[in-house]
Chains A and B, each alone.
Chain A
Amino acid sequence: MAPTLSAVKQAWRTLIWLVVVLAVLAGTIAGGVLFSAPGAGWGLKLGLDLEGGTQIILAPKLESGQQVNAEQLSQAVSIIRQRVDASGVSEAEISTQGGQNIVVSIPGTPDQDTLNRIESSAKLEFRPVLVADAAPTAAVTPTATPAEGLSDTPTVAPTNASDLNWVTPALQDQFTNFSCDSDGAKDAGQAPADKPLLACDENGQAKYILGPVEVTGEMISDATSGVAQTQTGASTGQWVVNIVFNDEGTSKFADVTTRLNALKGSQNQFAIVLDGKVISAPTTNAVITDGRPQISGSFTQDSAKTLADNLKFGALPIGFTVQSNDSVSATLGSTQLASGLIAGLIGLILVVIYSLFQYRALGLVTVASLVVAAAMTYLVIALMSWRIDFRLSLAGVAGLIVAIGFTADSFIVYFERIRDELREGKGLASAVEAGWRRAKRTIYAAKAVNLLSAVVLYVLAVGNVRGFALTLGVTTIIDVLVVILFTHPVLRLLAATRFFSSGHKASGLDPTALGAIYRGRAEFRKPVDSTATKKAGAGREAALRQTIAERKAAQLTAEKPADTKKDRKDS
């Protein structure tokens, strides 16, 4: 039994790995709870349909006479969905209401960042700075109405966006009287793209007259957030948004920086305008020809990521404001959920009974493996609830219930292979090893298909489908881990016990009930009339497979013509 000894040793070693995996998962969550990291906890977060959440109604910001059309609305819904998805896997529900509003239902209570993420238009423009000035801190002489009689058309047609001829006397006057905390400032930023714009910076500390739009957010092909680095590669600790322009944006941006680089003073600056506010107005130190500018501003990690995401998914076709923000209860009543859980539990008990009936003591291994898989799944989902705001929805629960079938199948495939090997006449210890080698291949191949579907759907799909893909992927990986780290080592250990290796009737691996049954009934091998061999081929193949067990059986019958079946049990 020398190989068994090393198998036992290996089995214990593998089981230690299982403990390590579980400990790391639990430890991470425990650490999060201990240091009260935001969102960390032992519980699972539930989805909108199970727990309810918040319903936010967004109304479009319309100027008088402006209409929203269905196309704009559905485009906005799609963009908002991508934005919400980008912040985690929470399965929000987004729809239109009354052909005008957008209803966003998200689980939990949204913070201000989330609301910003949803409602900001994310209309990004690059405009050259014409005039810059510090904004008055207190409201100066509120001459709200522009002085009459001042011309608001340029006397000389401006040649380019940096041309100071854009600043008409009327605009200059408006600018002088412009205060960033006035009501007028809120309406600023609405100027057409080909006209100059009055705008303030985010903090209301500076005001600008900006030239017409030169580069827009639509020319962005990708945006990421990160920490700025100095030329030597050291981190400055400041959060920035990195932009990658498409070809058109790259060439336009190169033109702008070439022109501005030659100018002096305020005109050397260009302003990055987001939803009518100047988030940054850097000076141009060099001509940027690679189309990869960096936006710095007063960003936090979250706000930098939000902006990067919003730029990537594109600007909303129209601006929206939050009209109402109400808590909403679960659509699936709590009684319904309870009924579902009770039913699921009954189903699980049936699975246990069936496993025990089918596999006897091995059924207990199935049940124990499912328990380990359940524990690991719980920990991983709790971890995902915390780290990526994963929420378990009804569909997710259903996915987990089906996962019971997928997971149990790994054990069933494995057990059946062991039985096959026993039928071939192998001893239990070697049957476990040989069965594992063959089952492993099948299990890996089949699980790979599952994992593939999970990864593809997660990457490409949106909304609920993404949540489903995540559940499927996680349970598939856990399933494989449990088979390798628990079921197989446990079977190796069991194979070394007397109860199993002696082929006890209740072990589920009783050779007399399997291959060895033929041993005591050698008359089976009597030649049969060839007319009855409709399935001779299959039969002959069977004979081929029986040989080992039967050869042994023949030997045994020769030695002890008595009831060998009984002898076997005693051995």
Chain B
Amino acid sequence: MASFAQFGNDLYTGKRSFDFIKHRRIWYTIAILLMVASVAIPLVKGGFNFGIEFRGGSQFVVSEVGDTPQSAAEDAVASVVPQAVARVSTLGASGVRVQTDQLTGQETNEVRTALAAAYKIPETEITASFIGASWGSDVTGQAIRGLVVFLILAGIAMAIYFRTWKMSAAAMLALLHDLVLTAGVYAATGFEITPAAVIGFLTILGYSLYDTVVVFDKVRENTARLGKDSHLTFGEAVNLAVNQTLVRSINTAVVAALPVAAILFIGAFVLGADTLRDISLALLVGILVGTYSTIFVAAPLYAQLREREPKIAKQNDRTLAERARASAAGRPTDAVVEGQPTA
């Protein structure tokens, strides 16, 4: 790493090159396996762990409490239902409101007893009720409608900007890959899906598309130069573009991921800010997967889609034939290839 600039330089000139396009079967296989796993895990584990904002839950209101430490209620709930995430707020001057996942009648009574003991008040001062979802189906419905409209518009906008629908298609497939994987990570870790986590999903959706557009813009630049006298096949031109933007991709992913990772690992795990966990996990996974999928999914898909076009196929054949002729004639190329590609 002593010379990251040198690394970037080699990538730029093509002296060092990773074969993202050529080995696409491998990347596709990995992507498909990961996606299948992401779908299978929630099926096996019995779905996602939705927060009370989505499912509704139980609510306890403790009134006439002298002192209102929130931790007492958290401990009381944890003593009965260890896996439940309790949302505790003080209510007015002398009340405590505790919201948890929906509890059974038995659990409700036990939590009531535990709360009464924790705040040293009679059980009659605690009311328990059921609260409905604050993130109701209407919010989800509106958000999904917005999302669909956005994806359609973004697809059209990208197709117009890049002058080919194939880039839109590749970007959307990569986006789907990112969302499925992020959802899979949630199912695997069992982290609660809260409104904050959903906002996190939306953020990475934007990030994933954004990252793809940046890389594709370089692809557009490189492939636009392909002409009759070009020595590159279409796939190689795409691959060069991905390599040339690789330093950017790495730097951006690191810069974007560092604060989020700090919040997830230091904030949530070390300092114990549990509620930050949901959103920072979505963001971290999304940033990493979003950067990865642009390189390993979107770019190869795009190259593959375009290579089937007769014009490009013909051009590729010509380039390859010329190259074969040149090497058969033993004409030395003036290209520099030092060392073997690492990928």
Contacts and interface: CB of A to CB of B under 8 A. Distances in A.
A413 interface: yes
Interface string B1-44: 00111101100111101000000000000000000000000000
A460 B8 CA distance: 42
Interface stretch (B107-115, B118-126, B297-305, B330-338): B330-338
| Interface class of chain B by DSSP | helix
A461 B146 contact: yes
- Nearest first, the 3 A-B pairs at minimum CB distance are A405-B256, A539-B335, A347-B262
Contacts of B9: 423, 513-515, 517
Contacts of B193: none
A557 interface: no
Interface stretch (B147-155, B176-184, B306-314): B147-155
B203 A525 contact: no
Contacts of A464: 135, 139, 195, 198-199
A395 B255 contact: no
Interface residues of A, number: 107
B274 interface: yes
B131 A103 contact: yes
Given A350-B258, A453-B206, 11 more contacts: A74-B136, A98-B131, A335-B273, A342-B266, A343-B266, A394-B275, A406-B210, A450-B206, A452-B153, A452-B154, A537-B319
A446 B259 contact: no
Interface in A315-346: 326-333, 335-337, 339-340, 342-344, 346
A192 to B, nearest CB: 29
B166 interface: no
A302 interface: no
Contact of B263 (A347, A449, A535): A347
A55 interface: yes
B143 A461 contact: yes
B231 interface: yes
B185 interface: no
Interface stretch (A119-127, A224-232, A540-548): A540-548
B258 A537 contact: no
28 contacts: A73-B132, A81-B138, A93-B53, A97-B59, A97-B130, A328-B91, A333-B70, A340-B276, A342-B266, A344-B267, A348-B258, A348-B259, A350-B259, A394-B275, A402-B260, A405-B257, A405-B260, A406-B207, A412-B248, A449-B154, A461-B139, A461-B145, A465-B198, A539-B335, A539-B337, A540-B231, A541-B231, A546-B13
A537 B236 contact: yes
B15 to A, nearest CB: 6
B131 A398 contact: no
A566 interface: no
Contact of A97 (B87, B132, B139, B213): B132
Given A347-B258, A420-B12, A536-B323, A340 B267 contact: yes
A538 B136 CA distance: 54
Size class of B's contact patch?
Answer: 35 or more
B327 A354 contact: no
Nearest to B319: A537
A173 interface: no
Interface string A263-307: 000000000000000000000000000000000000000000000
| Interface class of chain A by DSSP | helix
A331 B85 CA distance: 12
Contacts of B92: 326-328
B209 A536 contact: no
B5 A527 contact: no
Contacts of B258: 347-348, 350-351, 354
A52 B337 CA distance: 63
A487 B342 CA distance: 35
A522 B224 CA distance: 30
A461 B248 CA distance: 33
A23 interface: no
A355 B259 CA distance: 13
Interface string B38-78: 00000000000000010010010000000000100000000
A77 B334 CA distance: 72
Given A97-B59, A336-B273, A344-B263, A409 B150 contact: no
A401 B13 CA distance: 34
Contacts of A10: none
A197 B221 CA distance: 73
Contact of A409 (B15, B209, B255): B255
B135 A463 contact: yes
A538 B239 contact: yes
Contacts of B265: 343
Contacts of B188: none
Contact of B252 (A327, A408, A453, A545): A408
A93 B335 contact: no
Given A52-B89, A96-B132, A347 B150 contact: no
Max count, chain A CB within 10 A of own CB: residue among B92, B233, B256, B257:
B256
Contacts of A347: 258-263, 266
Interface string A429-462: 0000000001001100111111011001101111
A74 B137 CA distance: 9
Max count, chain B CB within 10 A of own CB: residue among A346, A413, A540:
A540
Contacts of A36: none
B202 A468 contact: yes
A95 B139 contact: no
Interface string B210-246: 1001100110010000000001110011011000110
B335 A456 contact: no
B90 interface: yes
Contact of A423 (B12, B149, B198, B279): B12
B157 A452 contact: yes
A541 B240 CA distance: 9
Nearest to B12: A423
Contacts of B70: 329, 333
A176 interface: no
Contacts of B13: 423, 518, 542, 545-546
A402 B203 contact: yes
Nearest to A409: B252
B79 interface: no
B158 interface: yes
